[in-house]
Structure 1
Amino acid sequence: MQKSFLAILSILILVSCSDKKSDKNFVLNGNIKGLKSGTLYIQRIKDTVFVPIDTIKIDGDSHFVSEFNLESPEMLYLFLDRGVTNSLDNNIPFFAEKGTMTLESTLDFFTADVKISGSKNQQLYDDYRKVMARYVNQDMDLIEKKFKAFKDGKLEEVSKMEEEQKNILKRKYLYTTNFAVNNADFEVAPYVALADIYDINLKYLDTIQKSMSPKVAKSLYGKKLNEFIAERKKTDK
């Protein structure tokens, strides 16, 4: 009888623990396989500087949980302190939004092995980056060929490649504009406009601005895009 009572009590405790909800509106469940000891920082960019939001100490268990309040969907960064210079290999960007997200990676290939779920903005941004990577690779190939042609004194070929690079840049800008307009209900739209095509012709930024849903227009990046366009219109006169 006593054993049955203890078993029921244990089950009730487990259920009550599992039902316990965070009082924060954002939860990140993470796992960095192979990381036994170290420090992780969740950071945001403020005035071009990384500012820590949360500090996570890893001691034996590579799993971690971070909880805090998020005012608006925002690009955040998970930084791994390896005790060396802050480099791109130590920073994982992720598009945080209210709710629960999961981030998994490995110690050996911290940025390459990352898998992120639980955010529609992140999913859209991943799709966007795959396309943009193709443009970047095309441009890198041309840079390599252009260098060889210049070295061989083939200046006419160099000029042709420079024109090809300009066309790639135009296609990148048009793709980003179309992506932002087609995903105007998500905060990733003003984010890519600010991050990747801030110097495009104002008429394209105006198109993105007008396409934003009211919710997105009131978001962190929606407000920033509105402010940026207003400043561009003043300086471009």
Structure 2
Amino acid sequence: MHKFIIAFCSLAIFASCSDTKTQGNLEISGSVKGLKKGKLYIQRVQDTTLVALDTIILNGKSTFESTIQLDSPEMLYLFLDRGVSNSIDNNLLFFAEPGKMTIDTDLEFFLGKAKITGSKNQELYEQYKAIISQFNDQQLELMKDELMAFKNKTSVSPENEKKQDAILKRRYLYAANFALTNADHEVAPYIALTDIYDMNLKYLDTIQKAMSPQVSKSKYGKKLNEFLAERKKKEQK
């Protein structure tokens, strides 16, 4: 009887440990085509430092699974440890949210071939980045003209600077409008904090007031509220 009790307690403790290890409200599964052996890390930014939430060891297969706990949707990183390689193509940014997400990608083109599903915030962020990349391409073309002028020791067209300013303004207005239109998702305060934090306060105020109660209580919603309160204090001095 004594041995039975010990065995039963041991099983209970083991089950309890197993449940603790796997509990979480976000289930991530996926694959890295071409990767048979290596390590993946799921990371978050904490106090300006990347901190690992989970370490996944791949040995003989390219698929992976992870379960983590999120208080609210937030940007995470899927980091590929390439060992001796110094490739910068190894940290995949994705907008995680509670539920089930899938990340499928490729060892050779880890960022370029990534397909992420299961997150509405991720879907919206991809739409946003697709348009922002167009503004970036336009600015790069104008910067190339500047560099060529410098190389050839010729003057830069006055119109060049005006065009760059116009593109920057359109980019900021697009970002503000996108955040306002999607203020019921956490991607809105994230964009406000990362891409247009130095915009006129009236635009950021509008985004803040448009946030749904749920978004306002989220990680980025709280950060935006704190950021605007602090900025208003500084600008009132």
Matches within 5 A, 1:68-217: 68-84=68-84, 88-157=88-157, 159-217=158-216
Give the distance between the partners of 1:162 and 1:103, measured in 2 at CA: 41
The one-letter amino acid paired with 1:219 is S
Q: Which residue of 2 aligns with 1:48?
A: 48
| Structure 1 residues not aligned, in runs of 5+ | 1-21
Give the distance between the partners of 1:149 and 1:86, measured in 2 at CA: 34
Q: Which residue of 2 aligns with 1:39?
A: 39
Give the distance between the partners of 1:53 and 1:23, measured in 2 at CA: 13
Deviations 1:12-35 (A, max 9, x none): xxxxxxxxxx74210001100110
Task: Give the deviation of 1:156 after TM superposition.
Answer: 4.9
| Structure 2 residues not aligned, in runs of 5+ | 1-21
SS in 1 for 2:185: coil
Give the distance between the partners of 2:166 and 2:113, measured in 1 at CA: 32
- Number of aligned residues: 215
- TM-align CA RMSD: 1.4
* TM-score, length basis structure 2: 0.87
Deviations 1:148-184 (A, max 9, x none): 1233344251x32112111111111000000000001
Residue 25 of structure 2 is aligned to residue 25 of structure 1: yes
Give the distance between the partners of 2:42 and 2:86, measured in 1 at CA: 14
The one-letter amino acid paired with 1:210 is K
The one-letter amino acid paired with 1:145 is D
Identity of aligned residues (%): 56
The one-letter amino acid paired with 2:80 is L
The one-letter amino acid paired with 1:40 is L
The one-letter amino acid paired with 1:111 is L
Report the CA distance shift for 1:86/1:54 in structure 2 as closer, same or farther (over 3 A). farther
Give the distance between the partners of 2:217 and 2:48, measured in 1 at CA: 22
Q: Which residue of 1 aligns with 2:227?
A: 228
Give the distance between the partners of 1:204 and 1:41, measured in 2 at CA: 37
Give the distance between the partners of 1:91 and 1:196, measured in 2 at CA: 20
* TM-score, length basis structure 1: 0.87
Give the distance between the partners of 2:87 and 2:203, measured in 1 at CA: 33
Task: Give the deviation of 1:86 after TM superposition.
Answer: 6.8
The one-letter amino acid paired with 2:145 is K
Give the distance between the partners of 1:156 and 1:67, measured in 2 at CA: 54
